[in-house]
A and B are shown apart, each in its own frame.
Chain A
């Protein structure tokens, strides 16, 4: 069965107004035709690390952690985080342990934030096309060292081309009803 329906009770004034809106919309549509972005890329290259990272993190002030050193290691599973705390304790843990929200180990959770800004961030899923974050490092020396290591790290990354998910169609095209 094909549902059908009939016009509702409406004043003729509204009908005329709807026609005007429809015409305006049409004119707008044609005005926009030449504004399309024809250079939009439809694919992107995704890089994934094939090596691992050992990151040293230091608690500079209470609960403020900075990266003091990062080193590339051959195997991803050899990745480690070595955290030195203000009270002099040192904790070494793995990437998997860093990802865990471990209620018994709240200190580790506080370290994770700063890791994302460094090369370890790429191991944790951050897009490798994004640069390292200077503010994650304790000083220029540590930042510069990681930056040059990062070019090597990227050169060994695996690459695949995937179709980019598209979004944003029809944005800011019309503020009037497009129904009829």
Chain B
């Protein structure tokens, strides 16, 4: 089949209107393609199955490590193991990750390149841009199949159900890079739809006190019981070991929830 479908305008107007012009300007001027690619229902099913199968394998591996106490084999700093165990024991949900696959078309098998389980980006593209780009060809083709926005909202709703006594205040943080902040807007919108109060801060401005995570403002301190970070655990482990210690203490003693776990 002829797979390439022109997507007139590549939704540039809408993308700008919604404040995502960073994805169109400067070095990114060729980032958003003005073409789409068709995949068949069978191919689509194969991608979905690959994602679900891979996720199950990762989970099985994690459970195996946990049950057999094989943490030392993973070459992680000792300091993070208590936090991993604690988060596993309290069953914190994994909110969002991205599988990068190769193949999947023209009878080539789907092959996993990597799983961005911790700090995945490409959220505005997946949740918003692709739907906006699809508008001009709505009559001719079926839309893209991901319903990321809805899934994110459901994940945050589930958190509220699991922790009914916890005030739904969520702090989003990153190291301040604009792409990370734009990605966190997707998380913010989903969490707000799920009934959370949400604020953003660069990690450097977040106050880690003995009893919780706060932001300082003219009105005093605001406490957050949930944190979604676009700061990799790898960075926290190796660059900010003291922060890791504080997060572990707050998670264990004050039930702070840091996502993705």
**Are A9 and B154 in contact, CB atoms less than 8 angstroms apart?**
no
Q: Closest B residue to A33 by CB, please name it.
A: B238
Residues 116-135 of B, flagged 1 when their CB comes within 8 A of A and 0 if not, give: 10111111011001100100
**Are A178 and B55 in contact, CB atoms less than 8 angstroms apart?**
no
Known A-B contacts A5-B146, A167-B207, A173-B175; the reply to A11 vs B235 at CB < 8 A is no
**Are B120 and A179 in contact, CB atoms less than 8 angstroms apart?**
yes
Residues of chain A in range 142-180 having any CB-CB distance to chain B below 8 Å: 162-163, 165-180
Q: Is B36 in the interface zone, CB < 8 Å from A? A: yes
Q: Is B206 in the interface zone, CB < 8 Å from A? A: yes
**Are A1 and B204 in contact, CB atoms less than 8 angstroms apart?**
no
**Are B242 and A180 in contact, CB atoms less than 8 angstroms apart?**
no
**Are A9 and B243 in contact, CB atoms less than 8 angstroms apart?**
no
**Are B101 and A7 in contact, CB atoms less than 8 angstroms apart?**
yes
**Are A8 and B55 in contact, CB atoms less than 8 angstroms apart?**
no
**Are A11 and B240 in contact, CB atoms less than 8 angstroms apart?**
no
Q: Is A89 in the interface zone, CB < 8 Å from B? A: no
Known A-B contacts A9-B36, A10-B31; the reply to A4 vs B52 at CB < 8 A is yes
**Are A10 and B33 in contact, CB atoms less than 8 angstroms apart?**
yes
* Max count, chain B CB within 10 A of own CB: residue among A1, A17, A173, A177: A177
Residues 23-54 of A, flagged 1 when their CB comes within 8 A of B and 0 if not, give: 00000011011001000100000000000000
**Are B94 and A178 in contact, CB atoms less than 8 angstroms apart?**
no
Q: Closest A residue to B178 by CB, please name it.
A: A177
* Max count, chain B CB within 10 A of own CB: residue among A30, A32, A174, A180: A180
Q: Closest A residue to B216 by CB, please name it.
A: A167
How near does chain A come to B133, taking the closest CB pair, in angstroms? 8
Residues 203-236 of B, flagged 1 when their CB comes within 8 A of A and 0 if not, give: 1111111100010000000000000001110110
CB-defined contacts of A163 to chain B, threshold 8 Å: 209-210
**Are B207 and A165 in contact, CB atoms less than 8 angstroms apart?**
yes
Residues 52-63 of A, flagged 1 when their CB comes within 8 A of B and 0 if not, give: 000000000000
**Are B231 and A178 in contact, CB atoms less than 8 angstroms apart?**
yes
Residues 95-139 of B, flagged 1 when their CB comes within 8 A of A and 0 if not, give: 111111100000000000010101111110110011001000000
CA distance A32 to B209 in the complex (A): 25
CB-defined contacts of B27 to chain A, threshold 8 Å: 17
**Option from B119, B203, B238 in Cβ contact (under 8 Å) with A180:** B119
**Are A177 and B33 in contact, CB atoms less than 8 angstroms apart?**
no
**Are B208 and A165 in contact, CB atoms less than 8 angstroms apart?**
yes
**Are A169 and B208 in contact, CB atoms less than 8 angstroms apart?**
yes
**Are B232 and A178 in contact, CB atoms less than 8 angstroms apart?**
yes
Q: Is B140 in the interface zone, CB < 8 Å from A? A: no
Known A-B contacts A2-B94, A5-B96, A17-B27; the reply to A174 vs B207 at CB < 8 A is no
Q: Is B188 in the interface zone, CB < 8 Å from A? A: no
CB-defined contacts of B231 to chain A, threshold 8 Å: 170, 178
**Are A179 and B121 in contact, CB atoms less than 8 angstroms apart?**
yes
Known A-B contacts A6-B47, A33-B239, A178-B235; the reply to A167 vs B204 at CB < 8 A is yes
**Are A166 and B154 in contact, CB atoms less than 8 angstroms apart?**
no
CB-defined contacts of B30 to chain A, threshold 8 Å: 11, 13-14
CB-defined contacts of B28 to chain A, threshold 8 Å: 14
CB-defined contacts of A171 to chain B, threshold 8 Å: 203-204
Listed by A's residue number, 19 A-B pairs whose Cβ atoms lie within 8 Å are: A4-B51, A5-B99, A5-B123, A7-B100, A8-B130, A10-B125, A11-B31, A32-B239, A33-B238, A36-B241, A40-B242, A169-B208, A172-B204, A173-B175, A173-B235, A173-B239, A174-B235, A179-B116, A179-B230
- Report the 10 A-B pairs with minimum CB-CB distance, sorted nearest first: A3-B151, A8-B125, A179-B121, A171-B204, A180-B116, A165-B209, A170-B203, A163-B210, A177-B179, A179-B119
In the complex, besides A165-B208, A177-B180, 15 extra interface pairs with C-beta distance below 8 angstroms are: A2-B93, A3-B148, A3-B155, A4-B97, A6-B99, A6-B146, A8-B130, A14-B28, A166-B208, A169-B206, A170-B231, A170-B240, A171-B204, A176-B177, A177-B177
Taking beta carbons and an 8 Å cutoff, which residues of B are in contact with A?
27-28, 30-33, 35-37, 47, 51-52, 55, 93-101, 114, 116, 118-123, 125-126, 129-130, 133, 146, 148, 151-152, 154-155, 174-177, 179-180, 183, 202-210, 214, 230-232, 234-235, 238-243, 246
